[in-house]
Amino acid sequence: MSIHHPRAAHWNRRNVLSMSAVALAAAITGCASGARAPDGPIAPEMSLPAGAHAGETASLRTRLRGTLMGWMGPRDRRELFELNLQTGERRMRPLNGLDTPVRPWQSSEPDRQGRVAIGVYTPDDKASPASSGFDLLGPSGQRQPLVRLNEPARVFSSETALSFDGNRLAHLRAPIPPSAPDAPRGTVMAFHLWIAYSDGHTEARRLFADPLVLGDGLLGDTISWFPDNRHLAVVVQGPRGRAAGAPTLSRDEPDAQVLIVDTDSGQHRPMGPGRQVWVSSDGQSVLVRLHEVSAEAASGPTKNRPPPAWAQRPTQLVRRAARPNGEFGPPQALAHTPQDITAVLAWLDDRYLVYRGDVTPGAPSGLTTSNSPLVGPKRLQAVKVMDTQTGEFLTVLEGVDPRSRIAVR
């Protein structure tokens, strides 16, 4: 291999626990620094910085290549925008044909032509059952159907990955809606990997039957394409997770593995341990987030047990270089890693880390709106880029709600 290039919800204990976990994740990742109104200037939602802040390197922008896609606006009037990382120019993406509602949290990174896959759905009513799927949205707003199912939207995970040429969409689909009365224990986290094709003739297919992908909104970033448009890096539950012979994935899965999957043949092989994965935009390396639960936490519940692994800042990041024979080099620590990082967004050109993080001291800040009464407001964050070889960094987007869907390629 060359890699160079609702229907009514069924309320039970599992549903309640899942909702509690989501609330806890938001509380930990969004409110770690408290929700008191910040001092200083207030950042408008998804605003562009006026310039580099203290400690940042303005010239870093000239070295960047890539496009950021994000959603902004009230929940019932979401708008999609794209940001050129090198020029700092932003424009709104028209959403034509809105007879089909859009699910912003089910959207992919752009392909080489600027197209992005977006989740769509029709609600259940007496005349017709619920349906859901994905459309391919072009730069001018043209929409092309990719896949449709006569199933409610919750069968799809928020995980999507569009190939670089836009011809294949990898997405995760639950074998049965997690809230269904007959859903097996553990299906809240159990997803199968599917591929949909944009040629309009090839049927979507499940890629493999055995490995269950360790992904949903609590974790994210468990599928990533190589630039050859054929191979995928996929995070699946570890062998101990399958020992019982049932889909009983754990949010703290200690032995999750990264597989390299040939989407043509369906063959796959392990690359090594990892909980999240990002293939470099040039295909020269893979960035992996390792498991981060301490030995004390792994030994069982304790009074001072740290947050679950999926709610911790992703600081344990390693790079694995791609070799000409399709193998990968040993894990290597990055020379520089942001201390304020809350989520990795992309790994560009085997060097630049695009991430969501805390606001740079002195930069405009603020609090989120439309908050859950259980969690309350969260501090707005920023999207930044760091050169992991030199440690230089730069804010490219301010006023970022940590709940917002942002993708970069």
pLDDT of residue 211: 66
The residues facing 276 across adjacent strands are: 289
Which of 140-144, 290-294, 396-400 is modeled with the greatest confidence?
396-400
At residue 155 the predicted structure's pLDDT band, cuts being 50, 70 and 90, is confident
Domain boundaries, the chain: 13-408
Q: Using an 8 Å Cβ cutoff, are 239 and 248 in contact?
A: no
| CA separation for the pair 281, 322 (Å, rounded) | 12
How far apart CA 271 and CA 235 sit, in angstroms, is 10
- pLDDT given at position 306: 55
Assess whether pLDDT exceeds 60 at residue 283. yes
Tokens representing residue 212 in the block: 């269950």
**CA separation (Å) from 358 to 50, 57, 114, 323?**
17, 17, 28, 35
Question: Cβ distance 395 to 383 under 8 Å?
Answer: yes
Q: In this predicted model, which residue has the larger pLDDT, 159 or 238?
A: 159
Choose between 346 and 210: higher pLDDT: 346
Residue 161's pLDDT is: 95
Residue whose C-alpha is closest to residue 357's, from 34, 24, 30: 30
Residue 394 · residue 50 · CB < 8 Å: no
User: DSSP for 14-27?
Assistant: HHHHHHHHHHHHHH
23 compared with 304, residue with greater pLDDT: 304
In sequence order, what DSSP letters do the residues of 334-390 get, joined into one string? Answer: -S---TTEEEEEEEETTTEEEEEEPPPTTS-B-B-SS--TTT---B-EEEEEEETTT
Higher pLDDT, 154 or 399: 399
239 close to 255: Cβ distance less than 8 angstroms: yes
Q: What is the pLDDT of residues 72-115, one digit of tens each?
A: 876 667 788 999 999 999 999 877 655 567 777 788 999 999 99
pLDDT band at 213 (very low <50, low <70, confident <90, very high): confident
Q: Nearest to residue 67, comparing CAs of 174, 118, 139, 2?
A: 139
User: pTM higher than 0.75, yes or no?
Assistant: yes
Six token digits for residue 252: 């703290």
Q: Which has more confidence, 349 or 257?
A: 349
What number is the average pLDDT over the span 11-22?
36
Neighbouring residues of 34: CB distance < 8 A, sequence distance ≥ 6 = 379
Residues 322 and 332: beta-carbon distance below 8 Å:
no
**Block residue for tokens 């959603």:** 71
With contact defined as beta carbons under 8 Å apart, do 405 and 105 qualify?
yes
Place of tokens 């935009």: 281
- Which one, of 83, 72, 28, 18, lies nearest residue 46 by Cα? 72
Sign, Cα dihedral of 164, 167, 173, 175: negative
pLDDT-based confidence at 55, cuts 50/70/90? very high
Q: What is the mean pLDDT of the chain?
A: 79
Architecture of domain 13-408: 6 Propeller (2.120)
Q: Is the pLDDT of residue 26 over 80?
A: no
Q: Is the CB of residue 320 less than 8 Å from the CB of residue 313?
A: no
SS3 call for 158: strand
The pLDDT tens digits of the residues spanning 329-375 come to 999 999 999 999 999 999 999 999 999 999 999 999 999 888 888 87
Burial status of residue 331 (CB atoms within 10 A of its CB: 0-12, 13-18, 19 or more): middle
Most confident segment among 252-261, 270-279, 351-360? 351-360
Chain position carrying tokens 């040429």: 165
Mean of the pLDDT values across residues 219-243? 81
Which one has a higher pLDDT value, 273 or 130? 273
Better-predicted residue by pLDDT, 245 or 228: 228
CB 216 within 8 A of CB 207: no
- pLDDT of amino acid 316: 87
Does position 126 have pLDDT exceeding 90, yes or no?
no
